[in-house]
Amino acid sequence: MPNAFVSINPASERAQHWLTVFGRLDEIPVKGGLPTSAVLPGFDTPQPVYLMDLTRITNEETGRLVRNLAQRFNEPQNAVAFELGAHGCPILAADVSFHTTVTRASRYD
């Protein structure tokens, strides 16, 4: 089963936000292997994004993500948590490099 991840470019203007949430710029889990398009604040046109796999981050990381996004976009935390649950968390494809790891299940398991 492949595990998809992105690494945030340290030169990205959003790198500090990811460091605040995760304490790292590497191994941020995402869903699937291809970006999708999303309409994002601050952009005139839809942008290619990877969607964070929220099921593969810790409760502490989820809490920091909600607080960080609420502060950045001046929104209530409960509204941010709702939106994350409904739509996920986009990560700009232009800010990242994508990679996977594949784990093989033993045929004797």
**What's the pLDDT tens digit per position in 7-49?**
999 999 999 999 999 999 999 999 988 999 999 988 999 999 9
Q: Provide the pLDDT for residue 1.
A: 41
Would 18 be classed as within a structural domain? yes
Residue 107 is assigned to a structural domain of this protein: no
Distance CA 51, CA 64 (A): 17
Cα distances (angstroms) measured from residue 38 to each of 20, 44, 57: 23, 11, 22
Under a CB-based contact definition with an 8 Å cutoff, are residues 88 and 52 in contact?
yes
What is the pTM (predicted TM-score) of this model? Answer: 0.86
Mean pLDDT to the nearest integer, 68-82 = 96
Question: Does some domain include residue 41?
Answer: yes
Domain hosting 97: range is 2-102
pLDDT the model gives residue 103: 64
Tell me the average pLDDT across 70-86: 96
Q: What is the number of domains present in the chain?
A: 1
Is residue 61 one of the residues assigned to a domain?
yes
How many whole angstroms separate alpha carbon 36 and alpha carbon 91?
10
Within-domain flag for 108: no
Q: Output the pLDDT for position 32.
A: 87
